[in-house]
A and B are shown apart, each in its own frame.
Chain A
Amino acid sequence: MNLAAMSLAYLRARPLGASLNVVLLALGVATITVLLLASRQLEQRMHGDARGIDLVVGAKGSPMQLVLSAVFHIDVPPGNIPVPEATKLAAHRSVKQAIPMALGDSYQGFRIVGTTHDYPAHYGAKLGAGRLWQGPMEAVLGAEVARASRLAPGARIVGAHGLGGGAGAEDLHDDAPYDVVGVLAPTGTVIDRLVLTAVESVWEVHGTGGEPEEYQELTALLLRYASPLAAATLPRQVNANPQLQAGSPAYESARLFRMVGTGVEVLQGFGVVLMLAAGLSVFIALTNALEERRRDLAVMRMLGAGRGKLFGLLVLEGVLLAALGVALGLALGHAATAATGVLLEARQQGPLSGLLWLAEEWWIVGGALLVGLAAALAPGWRAYRTDLAGVLAEG
């Protein structure tokens, strides 16, 4: 016989009430866990995708749309920019590196990006198989594209017009297939979900391949500044050009997080309210249980139980409920995150793992146990003040 065995025996004696409290607490914990895991992974992913890109230059329009389309590949670009303007900008003294980007097509929902070898190099991508493209109409698949399509070097793919189209769409570019020459190793960045090729491939597919470069267009340029001073001057200079628009990934993603963050915070607040409600429920359950058990607790004192032991019994019961709730909640939260990740993966929205453990989750564990402890304190105190003879006489 020990405190834990006693507490478990009491919990087993009222399975419905105990289960409901555990489930209520678990729902609060699961809500917070999902939000925490999803927002943290999204944040990490966005930071990883935008790392080292100081400025995105594209057509006039919304800078956020420009950044979302050119860096994170989750929106359509606002338009195209003339190659001569892009070339002029790339040669600007404030620009250390300019990576061109031509968008317009996709393969089975994965975007086809016309670019240079600098782009995979920027993300530190290594070849998993084959080689990089050496000329037009050669393509290299990101790791996730290769995994989903089960293609390898030597395969041929046909792009579809538009950035979200899938195979079987009516506007397939049947006449301009790509030869898959390489597959990239996984990087954990956006490049895993892209098909990379030369810029010239995109021009060729869209029938402008034979035209002189001054008549060609790009979708965006990803820039790295030559010096910190460029951050103050270059965006202004770019925006002064009637054909160009500058967007800062750091600023736009921070703006996006501020907007999305409000929603996340509201949901996290909701999760906290759920947890507190669960704590209140555990409190009420323990208080009611104490009412039902006043006689048992008096009997235990009759048998010599110190008040500390009774107090410990109730506190342990509250903490046990909380521990079960938090364990179930964490399991539910991680499972729900993993399930969301599977859904997102099916939509080429990038990975979301349920197997990740964040340091902040220890705070959830601590918080939930504290709720259980707090819920047990008042009933524990009342148990401590049991009127022995009176309760025993009640029968």
Chain B
Amino acid sequence: MLSLSAIRQRYGSRLVLSLDQFEASAGEHWLVLGASGSGKTTLLNLAAGLLRATEGSVRAAGEDLGRLGEAALDRWRGRHVGIVPQKLHLVASLTVAQNLALAPWLAGLPPGAARAAKLLAALGLADKAGARPAQLSHGQAQRLALARAVMNRPALLLADEPTSNLDDAACAAALDLLQAQARDCGATLLVATHDRRARERFEKVLQL
């Protein structure tokens, strides 16, 4: 499902990630654990096709990402990858419902209004559909980012530091939601974090 081989990722002359081999099968839940600057986000960006590998190869959801052109890579990402960025990156000028509708629209998929409604209800945001992201609490905003990420039923779900600044209960709830949604989609889940509290929830861990 996801395979990274002989990765040597550099920013200029600085090596930010060195990874000989990483394989994740369909439906597996992986924790990518490491300190700040260890290359966790870089790994997720490579897996999502947001970054091109400077050395090595990335295969995901049946594609060799290095062989895809920019337009094809964008299209592939929209259809196969769901991302929950660390800073959530919700679009401030759009409502909750519009933020959610963005995902299928930008990926060129049917609107999926029923799925959006179901997700909002499942994540406790049904009454916030008309609200702007600025009107949401951090937890609500995080759930919206998760809903947006799984809206298109991705094969690969990536979450970057989803538990930072959360207390233990909120941390557990966030990871529960992520894993539940990944299971619901049958997605391979990669959660990058430096938070050791997440360790016990994952059988598969990649230490960077």
Chain A residues at the B interface, C-beta cutoff of 8 Å:
1-2, 5-6, 9-10, 12-13, 295-296, 298-309, 388-389, 392-393, 395
Given contacts A299-B89, A304-B78, A392-B89, contact A1 B101 (CB under 8 A): yes
In angstroms, how far is the closest chain A Cβ from the Cβ of B87?
4
In angstroms, how far is the closest chain B Cβ from the Cβ of A285?
15
Question: Could you tell me if A304 and B51 are in contact, using CB atoms closer than 8 angstroms?
Answer: no
A307 touches which one: B45, B70, B108 (CB < 8 A)? B70
B103 touches which one: A303, A307, A388, A395 (CB < 8 A)? A303
Question: Could you tell me if B50 and A299 are in contact, using CB atoms closer than 8 angstroms?
Answer: no
Q: Tell me the complex Cα distance, A241–B98, Å.
A: 85
* 13 other A-B residue contacts (CB within 8 Å) besides A303-B78, A304-B107: A2-B105, A6-B94, A9-B94, A299-B85, A300-B91, A302-B48, A302-B89, A304-B79, A306-B71, A306-B75, A388-B51, A389-B50, A392-B85
Chain B residues at the A interface, C-beta cutoff of 8 Å:
41, 45, 48, 50-51, 70-71, 74-79, 83, 85-87, 89-94, 98, 101-103, 105-108, 111, 148, 152
Number of residue pairs spanning A and B whose beta carbons lie under 8 angstroms apart: 78
A selection of 6 A-B contacts at a CB cut-off of 8 Å is: A303-B107, A304-B74, A304-B75, A305-B74, A308-B71, A389-B50
Q: Tell me the complex Cα distance, A295–B86, Å.
A: 13
Contacts of A389 in B (CB 8 A): 45, 50-51
In angstroms, how far is the closest chain A Cβ from the Cβ of B145?
10
Q: Tell me the complex Cα distance, A392–B158, Å.
A: 14
Contacts of B76 in A (CB 8 A): 304
B148 touches which one: A13, A303, A393 (CB < 8 A)? A303
Question: Could you tell me if B106 and A9 are in contact, using CB atoms closer than 8 angstroms?
Answer: no
In angstroms, how far is the closest chain B Cβ from the Cβ of A383?
13
Minimum-distance CB pairs A-B, first 8 = A304-B78, A13-B93, A304-B107, A395-B87, A1-B105, A305-B106, A1-B101, A299-B89
Q: Tell me the complex Cα distance, A305–B79, Å.
A: 10
Q: Tell me the complex Cα distance, A299–B89, Å.
A: 7
Contacts of A10 in B (CB 8 A): 93
Question: Could you tell me if A296 and B98 are in contact, using CB atoms closer than 8 angstroms?
Answer: no
In angstroms, how far is the closest chain B Cβ from the Cβ of A298?
8
Q: Tell me the complex Cα distance, A6–B70, Å.
A: 23
In angstroms, how far is the closest chain A Cβ from the Cβ of B11?
10
Contacts of B105 in A (CB 8 A): 1-2
Question: Could you tell me if B41 and A307 are in contact, using CB atoms closer than 8 angstroms?
Answer: no
Contacts of A301 in B (CB 8 A): 74
Highest count of chain A CB atoms <10 Å: which of B41, B50, B76, B152: B50
Q: Tell me the complex Cα distance, A304–B87, Å.
A: 18
In angstroms, how far is the closest chain A Cβ from the Cβ of B115?
14
In angstroms, how far is the closest chain A Cβ from the Cβ of B169?
25
Contacts of A300 in B (CB 8 A): 91, 102, 106
In angstroms, how far is the closest chain B Cβ from the Cβ of A292?
10
Question: Could you tell me if A302 and B50 are in contact, using CB atoms closer than 8 angstroms?
Answer: yes
Contacts of B103 in A (CB 8 A): 303-304
Q: Tell me the complex Cα distance, A388–B148, Å.
A: 18
Highest count of chain B CB atoms <10 Å: which of A296, A303, A389, A395: A303
Question: Could you tell me if A307 and B106 are in contact, using CB atoms closer than 8 angstroms?
Answer: no
Given contacts A302-B83, A303-B148, A393-B41, contact A388 B50 (CB under 8 A): yes
Question: Could you tell me if B89 and A307 are in contact, using CB atoms closer than 8 angstroms?
Answer: no
Q: Tell me the complex Cα distance, A6–B101, Å.
A: 11
Highest count of chain B CB atoms <10 Å: which of A13, A298, A392: A392
A309 touches which one: B51, B98, B106 (CB < 8 A)? B106
Q: Tell me the complex Cα distance, A2–B86, Å.
A: 27
Q: Tell me the complex Cα distance, A91–B94, Å.
A: 83
Question: Could you tell me if A13 and B92 are in contact, using CB atoms closer than 8 angstroms?
Answer: yes
In angstroms, how far is the closest chain A Cβ from the Cβ of B111?
7
A305 touches which one: B50, B51, B78 (CB < 8 A)? B78
